[in-house]
Chain A
Amino acid sequence: MITFMNNSDSEEEPCNERTSLMSAESPPVPSYQDGLQASEAGEAQAHRKRRTGSSRSPNNTADGDMSDLGVPVRESALENEEEEVTLKYGAKHVIMLFVPVTLCMIVVVATIKSVRFYTEKNGQLIYTPFSEDTPSVGQRLLNSVLNTIIMISVIVVMTVFLVLLYKYRCYKFIHGWLILSSLMLLFLFTYIYLGEVLKTYNVAMDYPTLFLVIWNFGAVGMICIHWKGPLQLQQAYLIMISALMALVFIKYLPEWSAWVILGAISIYDLMAVLCPKGPLRMLVETAQERNEPIFPALIYSSAMIWTVGMAKPDTAAGGPSHQTWDAAEEGRENHSSPSHADSGMLETRSPVPTRPITSFEEEERGVKLGLGDFIFYSVLVGKAAATASGDWNTTLACFVAILIGLCLTLLLLAVFKKALPALPISITFGLVFYFSTDNLVRPFMDTLAFHQLYI
């Protein structure tokens, strides 16, 4: 297992630029000296290529030699370079998540603003049975809180069920579940979405063409997500699936319930990922114990490990869909539980240790974000776009708030180096900005615009 150890050496000694966003699964850093020596080259991949394949002792002797030279000056110069590389690397990871989150939100907002269907009220999911069409404010609030309680309990139950399945290694069941749900998302929801878009723009499409389009879209999606495919196509499909799911939530969750659910789910996320007995934390720990990637099915990964000498790229990096479990309900009612299972999961990719990684590996370590996070971010921004009285300022304010929350969460990830919930900070900022922009900023800006005043 020398390659594995070397691998851990190589992945640890550029630790300052690489593991700053790594999860704690990686073994502890062997020595700081390695890091110094590595960053001296200034090029991450260059030294990775140098390091892999070499065992530990030459490094140490080399370090010994190094330490005799003008160490203080060199150390500070090396430190500077390390810092710089760390900062740049960290920033790159942040942008690797900004882009898909932004794309998902753009898709959702564009659809909400153009396709009427997703803002029309056509019933509710059975998970939110209480109606909000009540005469008094108190009753409405009560109904929305009750809806939230029901929704969150369903999510908790599903998550616990999923964790139990995972714990007792019922992989076939889980895979079947995920395949079924991604089938539904990729075919049924896409069909409905396409139908509504065509209706909005009054474009006629005959059934054979429709069948061809949907079939190709869905089949390629299933392959990309559950098997192998180009990384960017996988990412595109994951973004589209998240957007579709978010649109369903925006359509079927009543107004106040949606906001209360968003708040409640970020609290749940916080607890599920950070509490010692939280289901998501147990999921992460179980996966770490078994050295398996955590549910590639429900996670958006920004990068893949490619290895030369291996037949295929590491497909564990790809991730499909988002879970919908539609046992006995009608067609449109869906529930996304394992997506919520992973909604908290903001984690970084660790290499799959069972694969031997040769000296020409091009490890592009990425960051992973659960699809549930995409969905709830998009729900927040989409709801802001749908209900903020035609105002674009609110949508933009929520968008900036969510991005800043994501940035802060990634900063915390760099500090704590373990799986963190991605929802709380972003959703909190998003909610604060939504309500304050809608109620305070909007009248101010409208009045200013009326007089054509600029501030």
Chain B
Amino acid sequence: MGAAVFFGCAGIAFGPALALFLLTVAAEPLRVIVLVAGAFFWLVSLLLASLIWFVSVHLSDREDAKLQYSLLIFGAAVSVLLQEAFRKADEGLATISEDGRSPISLRQMAYVSGLSFGIISGVFSVINILADSIGPGIVGIHGDSPYYFITSAFLTMALVLLHTFWGVIFFDACERRRYWCLGLVVASHLLTSGLTFLNPWYEASLVPIFILTLLTGLWAFLTAGGSFRNVLKCLSCKGGAGREGRATEGVTAATRGLFR
């Protein structure tokens, strides 16, 4: 059971991230560097949030469980806000270094930055859980949900994708100065984090989060310049004469929005 759960959950949680990384980021050194830099920014934001939480816990009454829980909620909210603040800082850095002359466009940096936030956030959330899933144990023996591992894996996958989409939308919103978009991104992040508070009640937390992921994905696709026509073009390259030419054309058209 141990190894199977480990590999299954790891695959669920990091499958999309790994695929995206291998197909789009690994080949280009500059993108890898942007990825690591994004991860660093996220880590710094987490550090500051943990510091705030830690200080607040130590200044409060340790015995009061309700207070500790609300401090945790407060800590989570602060963490979300700090993550978005550091995403803005990352965007600032990207804008400064992208002066029209670099081989990586702002759009690509937006995507890679979002992916980096997603990967590091997912890893930090789930890696200890995955490590525990190998070892001997019984899930939920004290009355908690027995589906802990698999739901954690799905939540992580959703989070990775969400961060990627938020990155694209965020950078675009900053570029076009659409502050309501920014606000919406922050709000949806807070909403996602808030939904996880409903957690053993997985219908109420997982399903809305996945719906949110789909909607955000669609929004990011539209922001990046994708459209229904592009998708059709990409799909129409299956079958018919001149397949290869059309295939490249279709794929180019569909991905042109993102990888201009």
Interface on A for B, CB 8 Å cutoff?
79-80, 83-84, 87-88, 91-92, 94-95, 98, 390-393, 396-397, 400-401, 403-404, 407, 433, 436-437, 439-441, 443-449, 451-455
Contacts and interface: CB of A to CB of B under 8 A. Distances in A.
Nearest to B71: A447
B196 A454 contact: yes
Contacts of A393: 124, 127-128
A403 B36 contact: yes
A173 B83 CA distance: 56
Contacts of B54: 439-440, 443-444
B123 interface: yes
Contacts of A390: 131
Nearest to A406: B36
Given A400-B43, A404-B36, A440-B47, 12 more contacts: A87-B30, A392-B128, A393-B124, A396-B120, A400-B120, A407-B37, A433-B47, A444-B75, A448-B125, A449-B125, A452-B152, A455-B49
B224 to A, nearest CB: 23
B181 interface: no
Given A84-B101, A87-B30, A91-B30, A454 B192 contact: yes
Interface in B32-48: 32-33, 36-37, 39-40, 43, 46-47
Contacts of B230: none
B199 A452 contact: yes
Given A87-B102, A433-B43, A445 B124 contact: yes
Give the dominant DSSP class at A's interface: helix
B75 A452 contact: no
Q: Which 9 A-B pairs have the closest CB atoms?
A: A91-B29, A95-B29, A444-B50, A440-B50, A91-B30, A452-B199, A455-B79, A454-B196, A441-B50
A98 B32 contact: yes
A401 B200 CA distance: 35
Task: Please indicate which of the listed interface residues A87, A444, A455 has the most CB atoms of chain B within 10 Å of its own CB.
Answer: A455
B101 A451 contact: no
- By size class, the interface of chain B is 35 or more
Contact of A407 (B28, B33, B124): B33
8 contacts: A400-B36, A441-B47, A444-B46, A444-B49, A448-B72, A449-B128, A453-B196, A454-B159
B51 interface: yes
Contact of A88 (B29, B76, B83, B159): B29
Interface string B38-77: 0110010011011101100000000000000100100110
Contacts of A88: 29-30, 103
A401 to B, nearest CB: 7
A94 B128 contact: no
Contacts of A84: 101-103
A452 B151 contact: yes
A84 B39 CA distance: 24
A120 B47 CA distance: 31
B148 interface: yes
A396 B123 contact: yes
A149 to B, nearest CB: 31
Contacts of B152: 452
A450 to B, nearest CB: 9
B186 interface: no
B44 to A, nearest CB: 9
B127 A447 contact: no
A391 B132 CA distance: 10
B129 A449 contact: yes
Interface in B180-196: 192-193, 196
B253 interface: no
Contacts of A454: 125, 155-156, 159, 192-193, 196
B50 A391 contact: no
A447 B28 CA distance: 37
A78 B51 CA distance: 48
B197 interface: yes
Nearest to B104: A87
B112 interface: no
A396 B159 contact: no
B234 interface: no
